[in-house]
Amino acid sequence: MGKKAVAVYSEIDRRALHVRLADEAYLIGGASSLESYLNQDAILDVAVKAHADAIHPGYGFLAENAEFAKVVSEKGFAFIGPPHEVIHLMGDKTVARKLMLRAGVPVVPGTTEPLDADDRAIEAASEIGYPVVVKAAAGGGGKGMRIVRKPDELLDAMRTAKEEAQSAFGDSRIYLEKYLEKPRHVEMQILSDAYGNAIYLGERECSIQRRHQKIVEESPSVLLDGPSRREMGETAIKAVKGCGYVNAGTVEFLVDANRNFYFLEMNTRLQVEHPVTELVTGIDLVKMQILIAEGLPLPIRQDEIVRSGHAIEARIYAEDPLNSFFPSTGIIERFRAPGGPWIRIDSGVTEGSEVSVYYDPLIAKLIAWGKDREEARRRLVQALEEFEITGIRHNIPALLSILNHPKFVAGEINTHFMQDYLQTEDLLKGDLTEEELVAAAIAAARLRNSQEVSQSAFEQRLVQSPIGEVNRRRWVQKRYENLRG
């Protein structure tokens, strides 16, 4: 677009990829997010120094902070996102539910007012019918959320959820919703301008989740057909117009086996998983965001949107799937991303980058496109097998187990997929044959008897053993760490 990008960075991110790529970059504070990426005054000071005319909040930290959006506008900068009033309205889950009901959008049965852990909550839960889910009114991402199946568990769950919500969002308000057993999580991407034009770009299936955090996303969903897709899209437009939304946004739904869908929440920002929509539609969502923020009308109409093929995204996290997905910190020693046609990699790290305790452990997103779902799936599997990451632990073995699972291949997925089908032993299936294990043991024994203790030496020994290159990359670090321990 011919525009210059100004980056802000924390002390620990001095060598981060976004700093290297930006036209200008400014230090805004220490390692913690409170000192840096949540420091509104520091960010606005940089905008003034750099003579910026707009601020894009990304999809974390201040992306859905209504107060920040308001201050940005008051200071004379364009906020690349919706109006602060809308962020405020849709960020409060109980208010959002009321708005959606008024707009004629189907909503999961539940309360429309915050509740305390008292008799009124017990009565409300009884009316809704168990199981119910306790949710934070001001949050998302699974924080402040508890599933309750029995009346005698309700009050304790509500107290715990209130404490967690207060810690995570500075807002302890909670409410109750009917808990849908094993639904699918399907969201609709929308674009809306300041002139009343709104379009939907198609859905993303986000049912593969761990602790309510998405891991694998795809578009289109195998559950929807033409009529149901159109109905969901038109319902998303109702939601958008019901709250005066402008810019890119996502309306999230829970869907049952009969394709009945219910409003879950609205994300008033760009989604982590937006690349799958871009690959299927050919529409650059960030570019659309900028055009809308400049005050221009949407350059495309609903009937001009053409969706082609299938795209699947896998989120690569610095975490150990064999240790309850505990975050893994340290220096990324080797980072060799796959390439080739129909493969896209979005990442903020390179070799030498530090994965710290301060930020989210998401280090890359790998996306594959295919003419159909199976072609996209196979391309993604191959790309994951070619990905080389050492120095930290990562979830690629878990992603491969998910993508190769018969239920995923068949499209039979829901939000309980991980706990139902992916146990620790599944992460090791297909990892090594008995013959390969023997080869690894021999190589490890040779190393133990030598003075060499570096990982490169360990890898050299393994290269000499009869073991496949792809398998070696997938488990060599784990074996080395076990040996070193």
Any residues with CB less than 8 A from the CB of 110 and at least 6 apart, and which?
97, 128, 132, 175, 176, 177, 178
User: Could you tell me the end-to-end alpha-carbon distance of the chain, in angstroms, rounded to an integer?
Assistant: 51
How far apart (Å, rounded) are the C-alpha atoms in residues 123 and 121?
A: 5
Tokens representing 158 are 């509500």
Helix axes 469-484, 396-404, angle to 10 degrees: 140
Calculate the alpha carbon distances from 412 to 244, 407, 421, 422 in Å. 36, 5, 11, 14
Any residues with CB less than 8 A from the CB of 62 and at least 6 apart, and which?
37, 38, 40, 43, 68
Catalytic residue among 146, 269, 461, 472: 269
Helix axes 469-484, 373-386, angle to 10 degrees: 50
How far apart (Å, rounded) are the C-alpha atoms in residues 374 and 378?
A: 6
Q: Is 159 an active-site residue?
A: no
Q: Is the peptide bond before 131 cis (omega within 30 degrees of 0)?
A: yes
How far apart (Å, rounded) are the C-alpha atoms in residues 213 and 345?
A: 20
Around Cβ 376, how many Cβ atoms within 10 Å?
A: 25
DSSP reduced 3-state for 310: strand
Any residues with CB less than 8 A from the CB of 437 and at least 6 apart, and which?
none
Backbone angles phi, psi at 23, to 5 degrees: -70, -35
How far apart (Å, rounded) are the C-alpha atoms in residues 53 and 41?
A: 16
Backbone angles phi, psi at 49, to 5 degrees: -60, -40
Short-list 100, 97, 102, 103, CA closest to 128: 97
Residue in this structure with the two tokens 């998405």, named with its chain if needed:
214
Q: Is the peptide bond before 220 cis (omega within 30 degrees of 0)?
A: yes
**Catalytic residue numbers?**
269
